[in-house]
Amino acid sequence: MKNINYFLFGLCITASFAGCKMKNTESAVSGDAAAKAYVAPGKYDEFYNFVSGGFSGNVVVYGLPSGRLIKEIPVFSVFPENGYGYSEETKPMLNTTAGFIPWDDQHHLELSQTNGEYDGRWLFANANNTPRVARIDLKTFKTMEILQIPNSAGNHSSPFITENTEYVVAGTRFSVPLGDQDVPISSFKKNFKSTISFIAVDKNTGRMNLAFQIALPGMNLDLSHAGKGVSHDWFFFSSYNTEQAYTLLEVNASQRDKDYIVALNWKKAEEFFKAGKGKKIQAKYAHNVYDEDKEKATSTIENEITMLDVKDLIAAQAIYMIPCPKSPHGCDIDPTGEYIVGSGKLAALIPVFSFSKIQGAIQNKQFEGDFYGIPVIKYEAALHGEVKKPGLGPLHTEFDGKGNAYTSMFLSSEVVKWSLKDLNVIDRSPTFYSTGHLMVPGGDSRKPYGKYLVAYNKITKDRYLPTGPELCQSAQLFDISGDKMELILDFPTIGEPHYGQACPASLIKDQSVKFYDINKNHSEFHTMGEKEAKVVRTGNRVDVYMTAIRSHLVPDNIEGVFVGDEVYFHVTNLEQDWDIPHGFAIKNNPGAELLVMPGETVTLKYLAEKQGITPFYCTDFCSALHQEMSGYLRVSPKGSNVPLKFGTNVIDSASEN
């Protein structure tokens, strides 16, 4: 969305500010609307809404229809609140071939699917900046795996999954030369490639592995979606900059009247891969996995990938280009899999392509030349029809399963409902302001749940109390159960609510883990009971095996640690009850605290840099005597002869007076 013409942008925003604000502000406060979004205290929401954090790098979970924030899940950004990226167990999650990276830009989310329907198992998330894909387990709401993607830059067209979660697919936004070659930027046409990566997902464990890549000519892949039902075997990617500009893209990549949607038969690509037709090439990338049994993450650097040759795919009739007007952005497939909606972000119409017509065009060779050897299907031959005058700046489309589509209009700040059958606009409603993605629960799957629509807005302006120059971004909830869309709630979000998906709470809530079974704690550093608590010195490394239970730590007095020692606090939470984490923090620690879930062991590394008495304490208000849940570490000068001593409730009366 970066290369939007800002002049246009300014104009339209101003227009919609003046025109429509009052009407909807009123409807949002009518008693009727409020009742629709109201979830009484103590009652559960109907849907989980997983929302990407954009530049926050994390994923945020809201309940719908209340809009209540119920969880922030750290994924690509360190999270001092619970120690993600700070604990020894989670640091490897953020490792890459460029070292430890504490942040990213998180755009898209996909819930895992079985037969094209959400199955409530995993959530996949992309990192745009340092290309990676993450998998979150929805039993624990924890990031379990992060896979780096080589030969990619701006991992924007990602992550998109096939109907049975066979693959998570990731396309590059920036074309780059393969294998980090040093070439002139002006050699773009010759040397730069846009790659598509197919990440295979293990059916049972969800474990990801980079199966194969395909290198296409230099262009920008923007978004994508897998086919469904009739189009199950195909994948569709929108592209822009088929002008192959490498400077001032705002102008130079907006020259052509049409760019393309790439149609790729992934089943055929998979056959080539399985038949060993790909070429192994060198590529380094990190694969980080959190092992639930050992309770720690490891990072492995992989060394090669399999590259399929696009020429083989062309020969096998497995790849085509479909012209799509004016810098296509969203590329959305309706629940039947028959209609492919391309949204040209600078176009004044929305082209809707038909899968059966595309197949017919391939059979009848209705082509208009090629793009680097890839046949280009004639626009009219692939077209089902165009939605005329939908609004300005169409970006993304989702579906309600009742034959309607909903498209976000960035420039004219509105959501527009239209019919898939006759492509007529049925309803429109202003949004506040500049909607990027919109979402209907299940709206990109085979089984939309209809009922609600959420618009994720980039600009909030006057919707909330002013908070200085930076305002929160926001989401707006519409009731779409009637003929007319009705705005029923605004809610502020964390970071940029880039995209979101929502599924019925019933898919997830009953399998949610309440605590970890301490008897299955196989951490190398666990302490199974207070009697096992100990402090062990090995050279200048000191391992503290500590337990936490309401309302004390064992040991809470530690002596015999010297300046220059590396102290590892391995804190095991002995509680076996839901929602009783304990925290751990120590004075002057330059990292963060830890939050330790019941039954879990987490490690904080602390460098003893100065002599003195250093208090530590539990940071989670766990009980009435939470303030008592604390202790002291004595750090003595290097070379002194203070003996190693530790315990809780060990009274040394000799030193008392």
Name the minimum Å distance from CB 620 to ligand CUA. 5
What CA–CA distance (Å, rounded) separates 657 from 653? 8
- Torsion angle of the four alpha carbons 21, 25, 27, 30, in this order, in degrees rounded to the nearest 10: -160
CB under 5 to 8 A by kind: which of ligand CUA, ligand RUQ, none does 395 bind? ligand RUQ
Instruction: Show the tokens assigned to 276.
Output: 């060993």
Name the minimum Å distance from CB 225 to ligand RUQ. 12
Name the minimum Å distance from CB 167 to ligand RUQ. 20
Name the minimum Å distance from CB 440 to ligand RUQ. 16
Q: Establish if 582 lies at the interface with ligand CUA (CB under 6 A).
A: yes
Nearer to ligand CUA, 93 or 622 (CB): 622
Nearer to ligand RUQ, 384 or 437 (CB): 437
CB under 5 to 8 A by kind: which of ligand CUA, ligand RUQ, none does 329 bind? ligand RUQ
Closest CA to 499 of 324, 330, 325: 330
Helix (H) or strand (E) holding 633: strand 630-636
**Taking a C-beta distance cutoff of 8 angstroms, is the pair 478, 499 a contact?**
no
- Three-state SS for 252? helix
User: What DSSP line would sit under 99-123, residue for residue?
Assistant: EE-----B--EEEEEETTEEEEEEE
Name the minimum Å distance from CB 499 to ligand RUQ. 5
135-164 positions binding ligand CUA, by CB under 6 A: none
Give the CA radius of gyration of the chain.
27
Nearer to ligand CUA, 207 or 626 (CB): 626
Name the minimum Å distance from CB 294 to ligand RUQ. 35
Q: How far is CA 314 from CA 239, 306, 525, in A?
A: 18, 18, 54
Query: Residues 6 or more apart from 2 whose CB is under 8 A from it?
Result: none
600-639 positions binding ligand CUA, by CB under 6 A: 618, 620-622, 626, 629
Nearer to ligand CUA, 485 or 618 (CB): 618
How many residues at the interface with ligand CUA, by CB under 6 A? 8
Nearer to ligand RUQ, 1 or 426 (CB): 1
User: What DSSP line would sit under 397-448, residue for residue?
Assistant: EEE-SSSEEEEEETTTTEEEEEETTT--EEEEEE-SS-EEEEE-TTTTSSS-
Name the minimum Å distance from CB 626 to ligand CUA. 4
Q: Establish if 575 lies at the interface with ligand CUA (CB under 6 A).
A: no
Nearer to ligand CUA, 161 or 586 (CB): 586
Half-sphere exposure of 605 (CA within 13 A, CB side): 12
Q: Establish if 552 lies at the interface with ligand CUA (CB under 6 A).
A: no
What CA–CA distance (Å, rounded) separates 382 from 581? 56
User: What DSSP line would sit under 182-243, residue for residue?
Assistant: ---GGGHHHHEEEEEEEEEE-TTT--EEEEEEEEEES-EEEEEEE--GGGTTEEEEEEE-TT
Nearer to ligand CUA, 416 or 548 (CB): 548
CB under 5 to 8 A by kind: which of ligand CUA, ligand RUQ, none does 626 bind? ligand CUA
Query: Residues 6 or more apart from 556 whose CB is under 8 A from it?
Result: 630, 631, 632, 647, 648
What is the identity of the amino acid at 463?
R
Name the minimum Å distance from CB 585 to ligand CUA. 11
Residue nearest to ligand RUQ (CB): 1
Name the minimum Å distance from CB 455 to ligand RUQ. 12
Instruction: Show the tokens assigned to 344.
Output: 């040209």
Residues at the site binding ligand RUQ, with contacts judged by CB under 6 A: 1, 107-108, 156, 329, 395-396, 436-437, 498-499
Nearer to ligand RUQ, 93 or 221 (CB): 221
What CA–CA distance (Å, rounded) separates 473 from 248? 28
Name the minimum Å distance from CB 588 to ligand RUQ. 41
Burial class (CB in 10 A: 0-12, 13-18, 19+), 450: middle
CB under 5 to 8 A by kind: which of ligand CUA, ligand RUQ, none does 333 bind? none
CB under 5 to 8 A by kind: which of ligand CUA, ligand RUQ, none does 629 bind? ligand CUA
CB under 5 to 8 A by kind: which of ligand RUQ, ligand CUA, none does 499 bind? ligand RUQ
Residue with tokens 């009407």: 23
CB under 5 to 8 A by kind: which of ligand CUA, ligand RUQ, none does 59 bind? none
Name the minimum Å distance from CB 523 to ligand RUQ. 38
Nearer to ligand CUA, 537 or 626 (CB): 626
CB under 5 to 8 A by kind: which of ligand CUA, ligand RUQ, none does 620 bind? ligand CUA
**Taking a C-beta distance cutoff of 8 angstroms, is the pair 455, 473 a contact?**
no
Nearer to ligand CUA, 443 or 583 (CB): 583
- Strands of 557-562's sheet, edge to edge? 594-596, 582-586, 612-617, 630-636, 557-562, 645-647
Contacts with ligand CUA by CB under 6 A lie at: 548, 582, 618, 620-622, 626, 629
